[in-house]
Amino acid sequence: MRAMQYVLLGLVASSAAAQAQNTSNVTVYGIVDTNLQFANGGGKIGNQNSLQSGSLSQSRLGFMGNEDLGGGLKAVFSIENGFNVDSGVAAQGGLLFGRHAYVGLASDAVGTLTLGRQYMPLHLLHVKFTTHQVGFADATASFIPQIDDVRFDNSIRYVSPSYNGVTANVFYALGENVTVPSAAAPDKRYGDVFNVQLNLERGQLLAALSYADKKKAPSIPGNHTKYAAGSVAYDFGAVKPYAIYETVRNDTATAATPDFNFWSLELEVPFGQGKWKASYGNLKNRTVANADAKSYGLLYEYLFSKRSSVYGGYSRVSNEGAAAYGVGSANGVAVVADGVGASPHAVAIGVRTKF
């Protein structure tokens, strides 16, 4: 937290020196994505045909803006609602701005500090190093929250300026715990999450290193879950490969808080007026025997324009006898496994437009 304090002091100093210019702007944006899904849970239930929302990208409506305060300083904000096209119901448990909601200050010289409900940098690593941002047929989509917790309330995030293509991300979420392990003697650090990440963007090369520490296992309040991930991608023109390797370790590994190793390889290949996207993911449970899983995906997206496309793809998860992972999508679990050892799979045909 001391580093956050120094950043905040720098931004306050910049603010004191700035002359307000009354220059501001607000952007309204969004995505609408829906598809027909032909699925099977891999067991006795059989085929499950449905209309789904948000397979490649969760449907959303957002507002973002900034005000130029002068001296290279801006006030910034972004609020984003997730919703389901098939039913009109709000996503993220019905939260008004469940995808994210934050406000902060951005300085060209010091960096950007934001506060609110935000994505942890580790999740943004998974978004950046998959072919369609942790969507249907992406290797990572079936293994969340095992490999990351996506977003947190009460969070503080700092992003540094770019130095030769390298940026630093520092993230801290306050658990604000008053009940665990008991209301009489709560652990003030329970629920806290820390995440630091370095991102590299240099020409066609992308890379990232991330470390996170989470104290959020109610069955073992003192347990820390530690995540370490590395990723790389390179655009060769004819093909763009993405690779991720990640470990998840606990102070006390149990069936409820297992250790994992995960790796994925994804490929994006331009073809005609669109792109082929292929993925493979491997999740190894180091604590529970016979509980590993593999994910496979293949999808083609045809681009009518930069904003609108149609897509069709196939995704499958092969579970070992003690595993029950479902087929994932940008909207969460798209197909639930019909019990442990079942291997669910699905075909999705959909349309997506951005505005």
Segment 195-226, tens digit of pLDDT:
999 999 999 999 999 999 999 988 899 999 99
d(CA 306, CA 6): 41
Closest-CA residue to 339 (of 326, 352, 354, 355): 326
Please check the confidence at residue 4 and state whether its pLDDT lies above 60: no
Degrees to nearest 5, angle at CA 172 with 186 and 246: 105
d(CA 199, CA 343): 35
The arithmetic mean of pLDDT across residues 122-134, rounded, is: 96
User: Under 8 Å CB-to-CB from 272, ≥6 apart: which residues?
Assistant: 302
In the chain, what percentage of residues exceed pLDDT 70?
94
* Distance (Å) of CA 237 to CA 134, 232, 265, 268, 270: 22, 16, 17, 10, 8
Please check the confidence at residue 1 and state whether its pLDDT lies above 90: no
For residue 269, the SS3 value is: strand
The arithmetic mean of pLDDT across residues 227-251, rounded, is: 98
Mean pLDDT of the chain: 93
Instruction: Report pTM.
Output: 0.91
Note the pLDDT tens digit of each residue in 162-203. Answer: 999 999 999 999 999 999 999 999 999 999 999 999 999 999
Query: Exposure string (b/e) for 65-104, b if CB count within 10 Å is 16 or more?
Result: ebbbbbbebbbbbbbbbbbbbeeeeebbeeeebbbbbbeb
Fold of 2-23+34-354: Porin (2.40.160)
Note the pLDDT tens digit of each residue in 62-95. Answer: 999 999 999 999 999 999 999 999 999 999 999 9
